[in-house]
Structure formats: structure tokens, C-alpha cells
A and B are shown apart, each in its own frame.
Chain A
Amino acid sequence: MKKTFSIGGVHPADKKISAGCSIEVLPTPQTVYISMSQHLGAPATPTVAVGDKVKAGQVIGEPAGFISAYVHSSVSGTVKSIGPRPDLAGNKVTHVEIAVEGDEWADGIDLSETLVTEIPADNRFIIDRIKSNGVVGLGGATFPTHVKLTPPEGKKAEILILNGAECEPYLTSDYRIMLEKPDQIVIGAAIMKQVLGGPRTVIGIEDNKPEAIESVRAAISRLQAKSASYSGIEVAVLKKKYPQGGEKQLIDAVAHRQVKSMGLPIDVGAVVQNVATSLAVYDAVMKNRPLTTNTLTVTGDCLPADRQKNYLFRIGVPFSFIIEQSGGMPEDAVKVISGGPMMGKAISNLDATTVKGSSSILYLTAEQTVRKPESNCIRCGKCVEACPMGLEPYLLNKLARNGMMDELEQNAIQDCIECGCCLYSCPANIPLLDVIRVAKGDVMRAIRARSAKK
């Protein structure tokens, strides 16, 4: 039997329309805007000044805390301005504006396509490369990768799970890199495996991507034939179900372990990394290449087949430029989403810039996405059936609307992973997650305030 997580989940149509589109290199615009807040944690501090000449791959922002990351320029040119600029939601974030001149890269970066398979023996060197090249988790949370690969004292990684599930409908960037760069992904996995002390390593891929499963399996055997450092890496075929790519769900599906409430994956001996992160780790360690590019899908039902794209883009390129390059916004699109349709963010400002974690531009039509009016809860229990955390969204909604904080905490609202299954499945169109998300924030604040007092 194929593996999947044990509680809840939904089956939206997977709509991988752009799956057949090979990755194309997106041209570079005249100006890029590089955000200092591309990762979870403290925004980076700019290390350049207006008028400075920068090269591609050069550091332009340094970490401002333990959980923070380096930011590099993705282009060569002149710093035009440094200052606040609205991100995709309209929030002001510090950006470095660079006028592009030529394409000159910083020294010491290997830009060749030659595959390097010899993993450095020194783990400290590896962690240092991952950190100094600004690698963050590309599965959605953009958590700094070097922190995740350094488990706290007394905790040991027993399994490394690579997330190749790509369970969000429409997205195909992970699928494309698994087809086009499987060796690099597997080498990245082997690097992380070594740093973590050699735990069993499993690459989880959903069964709607048989070509990716084939491709990664072939890469594993190719590399295993070459060197012993690639043993103990395998592919797990997962039964398609959303949110399989959720960290907690993936651990349950692959290792049959469940992370305790408010706990971390490492508590059950698991470390989860996205396949795109694995590719970034390969580039950072083997090529000394900073995280300055990523793969992004341009898709949507209302987009003609010849304009569906998978782009290799320079981080900091405005969304509007990518939209222009791919033939403009379709007539009947009313909503543009960065990320998947289940957890992605609706873009309010198309001039906003791409960041390390940008994975898609998804166009949705009014018919697909406009919410219908809310009606009475009919207590059908579909939200309870759908919740992958085993919560009771209908109850949390009711408690939240009555401000019952203690009851919300007793009913585990703090465990909500905001996957959207409840709202997706509600036949009465009740905005369950909208209400739960706000209430969860309040409860989390109360929990933090309480533990701070102790």
C-alpha cells in the first residue's frame, strides 16, 4: 500500500497544467529590487550603500539575528536606492534597488554545469557554505537551512525526509527540477545526510508524478554506482492527498511518527527539507553558488497552453516583469497568487518583487475563486473529516466567534497548520480558516505571555 498521512486531508483536482513545460531562463530586467526580508526571522541588514557597484552573487545583506540569513545580489550593476518598498501584500519592507549592468559574477563561484559528486568531508565547512550562501527552506516557510541542519544539543536526526510531494494544485516547479536536475537534488540530499550524521534519507514524491519518481530513482542508482556516500537514500511513493507536503503530515506519511503539539520535527528525530532546498544546498556547497535564482511556475486555467511556463528567475525580479515576459495577465483572471491555491498569498501589488521562496504566479478566474455567501452550518462534519490535525474546525469557529479563549486552547487551536482544508471543504461556505487564523494568533500570544511569566 502507498503511504500517506493518517488523519484528514482533501483531494482538490491537481491541475498540473504546466507539467510539460521545460524550465526556461527568464531574461533579466533593467532593474531588480532585492528584499531584505526573504526568510523567516529577523530581516537582513543591508551591507551596501547607494552608488556601490555590485556583482551577481555578492553579499548585500547580512543576518541580523540567530534566525536570519544572508542576502545576495542576483545581478551585477549599481545600487540605486535602499529603502522601504511595498511587498506583494503591500507591507513596507527594506529593498535594495539595483540597476542591471552586464552579468558579472563575484569571484569563487562555479557557474559551470559540470556535476560535482565528491562531498567535502568537513561538516563545518558545509554548514558554513550553506549559511554564507543564504540558503533557506524553499518549501514555503523559508526557514534558514543551516539552523535546521544543526539540531540542538541532545537531539539526534534519525530520518531525513525530502519533500517532493508538491501537493498544492497547479505548482510544477518542484516537478520540473526533479525531472531536469535529479542528480543535483540527490547530491544535496547526501550532503545534508552527512551533516546530520548519516540518518536514513527518504525522498517523498506523490504518485501523480511517476516521471519524477522514475527520474529521481535513476539518479540515486547512478550516484550509488559511483560512490558509497549515496547509500541509504531512497524514494517513497506517496498517495496523492493534500496537504502531504506539510511538514507534520510528511513525517507521519513517511516515518509513521507524529510530532507532539507545539513540538519540532527533531523531537521525533526527523528533519524535513524541500527538494528545491536540496538543489540550493548542492549549488551552495559544491559550486559555492549563493541562492540567487529559483524556479517559478506561471500557470492557471485561464492561461493559454503556450503561455504556461516554468522559469528559472533571478530573485528580485518584479512579478510584473515576469507577467509581461509570459504574455501578460489573462483577461478573465481576477486574482493572482504567489504560491499554491491552498496556502499561497494573493498578490495585491504586482510591482512587488520575487523573493527566495517565490514558487509561482497563478491566475484564478472569478468563477474559481470568488467566495460564495456564507450560510448556516449544517453540522455535516466535513471540516472535521478534512482537518489533517484532527481538529474540529466547526467548533473552533463557534468558540472563536464567542471569544472563548480557554476553550479554544483546550480544543487545540494552536495546532492548526492553516492548510485551508476546512474552508475548502465547507459546503456552507463558512470562512472557517479566516476566523480560526485570527483566533489562533490570539491564543498563541496568550500562551507565550503565560510562559514568559513563569
Chain B
Amino acid sequence: MNRLLVSPAPHLHTKTSTMSLMRDVVIALLPTVIVSILFYGWREIMILAVSVISCVLLEYLITRFLLKRPNTTGDWSAAVTGVLLALNLPATSPWWMVLIGAIVAIGVAKMTFGGLGQNLFNPALVGRVFLLISFPVAMTDWGPVQGFIGGADAATGATPLGLAKEGGIEAIRNLDYLNMLYMNIGGSAGELSAIAIIIGFIYLLARKVIRPHITLSIWITVFVFSGIMWLADPSAYTDPIFNLLTGGILLGSVFMATDYVTSPMSAKGGIIFGVGIGLITMLIRYFGSYPEGVSFAILIMNSTVPLINKFCKSKKYGR
């Protein structure tokens, strides 16, 4: 007689796996990666390669030799961290700095906590913030870098947020917002094109990888908060559209704040989390000493996730 397989129900399983979800994130990042390579050329290719290879290799070495556990790099999560870290760095970053960022991201922020799913903070952001604090000059060196399209100075110079911080509202008077939609001026590789990031966002939503709650609540908070400040005093505060399109808001809200591991479980929790990120970002931009605050805002809100999960329970049937 045939030997029959017996196991408890359910007997079917969704085709979605950790690997397919992470792969979808990488696919969603492709438009942004392509834009950054077009504008920053070979340097960006080097940064992406160093970042992704060192993240994946580090996770492999740590699981193999330190933790003596099965290799987990097949789940693509280390690759996602690698791409995100690379997109969060200036195109002038030297290779050793990228490597240090990867060591901090994977070695400290991810594997010390027990690997995927266990970390409290977004690994790529921990890597970035570590570099920002350790090498403040290199991390704000915006060029010039020779890209494949546009001149050497097409996407270089100080970031709009940096200009606004130093020169006040007058310094950004001549910015063309339409231009910023598809091609920003100055900033990390991943901050170049709003359109590329939004294409990725739509892909993630369509594939049901993420829900829109976190991202939209960040956008709305930033828009409303800066809108109120701008209406109150347009000569002192930057306007809402400027705040949505510049810096890391888009990249952070679509790809970093929505990281499963470090964001709340429920939709309600996600909204609280997003509002928190939006508020902290704007407080840092308007009143802090750094021109940009998205990374800090996300990391600060990461630390509140266990608490949010405890208090934002899903609605239970019949209770």
C-alpha cells in the first residue's frame, strides 16, 4: 500500500514566503537604484556592490562561524539591507566607509539581536546613523560625481534641506518642484527621484507586501505639520511640498519605516508609528541642529514598537 503523508490541517500554504517578500522589496527598489546609477555612475555601482556583497557575506560568516546556525542569506533580507544602506549614503562615500556601515548594520544591529525578525532597530538606518555621527564631513560631501547622464554637477551641491538650514528660506527660493519630482538636487543616492520611489511604493502595495498605513500617515503628518508652520510664518518655515519631496522622507517612509520587523503589527499601531515619525522628522528639520531627521525619527519610533504592539490590539470577534 502507498505510504500516506499525515499532518494536521491546513494542508495548503500560500506561495508568499519570507524570500519572495524580500525579493519584492528589492524589485521595488530597482527604479531608485537605476536612477541613482544613471546620475552617480560608476561610483554608485561601486557603493551598491560593496554594500550588498559585504552585508550578505557578513551575515553568512556570522551564521556559519559565530552562531553556528543554518545559513539565512537565502531569505534576501541581508541583500535588502545592503541596497538600502547604499541608497542612504552620499555618492562620494569611500569603499571602507561603506564596509564599516555594513558591519554595523548586519553585525551590530541585526545579528547581535539574533538575526532576521529579532532586531529592534532597522539595520540599514543604524549603519547610516553610525556613519553620520562618526564621519560627519564625509557623510555630507555631496559631490561632484560623474554620472552616466547629465553633467558632473547635474545632481551635486548642497542638499535643499542643508541650504534651508544654513541660509534660511531665502536660499531655496529658486527651487523647481517639478524638477524635484523626478530628479532631486543633491543628497543621498536614494533621494534623487521621487517618481522612482513612488513607483516602488505602488509595486509594494499591488503585491500586498506592505499596507499603506505607515507611509501615508508619515506623509500626511509631514504635510499638515509643516503646512501649519508655513502658514503661520512663510518667511521662517519651509513649505509642505518642499518638505515632502526633499531629503529622506519618501525613501524612509516607503522602504525603511515599513520594515516588517521594526514596525507595529496592527493598522492602528502603524498609524501611530507613522504620525510619530512625521512629527519627529519635522521637529528635527525645523528646530534641531541637523538639517534632516528622518533616520533619527524612524529609529526613535522603532524603539516604541513593542509598546505600540502591546496597546494597539486588533479588534477581536465578538468582544
A: residues with CB less than 8 A from B are 7, 10, 12, 89, 169, 248, 252, 258-261, 263, 329, 334-337, 339, 341-348, 350, 364, 366, 368-372, 375-382, 384, 387-392, 394, 412, 415, 418, 420, 423-429, 433-434, 437
Contacts and interface: CB of A to CB of B under 8 A. Distances in A.
28 contacts: A7-B314, A10-B14, A335-B5, A335-B6, A341-B12, A342-B10, A343-B9, A343-B10, A346-B11, A347-B4, A364-B12, A368-B12, A369-B5, A372-B17, A376-B114, A376-B115, A376-B118, A377-B117, A378-B77, A379-B261, A382-B16, A390-B315, A390-B316, A390-B317, A394-B265, A412-B316, A428-B17, A437-B8
Contacts of B317: 7, 248, 252, 258-259, 388-390, 415
Interface in B253-268: 260-261, 264-266
A378 B6 contact: no
A347 B1 CA distance: 13
Given A378-B116, A381-B266, A342 B17 contact: no
B167 interface: no
Given A378-B260, A412-B316, A433 B8 contact: yes
A129 B304 CA distance: 62
Contacts of B9: 339, 341-346, 418, 420, 433
A372 B75 CA distance: 13
Interface of chain B: mostly helix, strand, loop or mixed? loop
Residue from the set B10, B75, B116 with the largest chain A CB neighbour count within 10 Å: B10
A412 B260 CA distance: 24
B68 interface: no
Contacts of B261: 378-379
B265 A381 contact: yes
B117 to A, nearest CB: 4
B11 A337 contact: yes
A4 to B, nearest CB: 14
Interface of chain A: mostly helix, strand, loop or mixed? loop
Given A380-B21, A381-B265, A381-B266, A7 B12 contact: no
Contacts of A375: 18, 72, 75, 116
Given A248-B318, A389-B316, A427-B18, A369 B11 contact: yes
Contacts of B318: 248, 258-261, 263, 415
B241 to A, nearest CB: 32
Contacts of B18: 375-376, 378, 427-428
Contacts of A412: 316, 319
A377 B118 CA distance: 8
Residue from the set B11, B13, B77 with the largest chain A CB neighbour count within 10 Å: B11
Closest 3 CB pairs of A and B: A420-B10, A376-B117, A390-B316
A379 B5 contact: no
Given A7-B315, A346-B4, A392-B265, A378 B16 contact: no
A418 B10 CA distance: 9
A424 B4 contact: no
A390 B266 CA distance: 11
A427 B21 contact: yes
Interface in B138-192: none
A390 B314 contact: yes
A50 to B, nearest CB: 28
Interface string B78-121: 00000000000000000000000000000000000011111000
A155 to B, nearest CB: 17
A379 to B, nearest CB: 5
B117 A425 contact: no
A261 B13 CA distance: 28
A427 B20 contact: yes
A424 B6 contact: no
Nearest to B114: A376
A388 B260 CA distance: 21
A10 B124 CA distance: 32
Nearest to B315: A390
Interface in B231-270: 260-261, 264-266
A368 B75 CA distance: 21
Given A375-B18, A376-B116, A380-B21, A335 B4 contact: yes
Given A12-B12, A341-B12, A390-B317, A427 B17 contact: yes
Nearest to A169: B12
Given A344-B11, A364-B12, 18 more contacts: A258-B317, A335-B4, A335-B11, A342-B11, A342-B12, A348-B6, A368-B12, A369-B12, A372-B17, A375-B116, A379-B117, A382-B16, A387-B314, A390-B319, A391-B314, A391-B316, A392-B265, A426-B14
Interface string B18-39: 1011000000000000000000
Given A258-B317, A423-B13, A429-B13, A384 B266 contact: yes
A427 B16 contact: yes
Contact of A346 (B5, B12, B75): B5
Nearest to A11: B14
Residue from the set A345, A375, A418 with the largest chain B CB neighbour count within 10 Å: A375
B10 A371 contact: no
A88 to B, nearest CB: 10
Residue from the set A252, A261, A348, A381 with the largest chain B CB neighbour count within 10 Å: A381
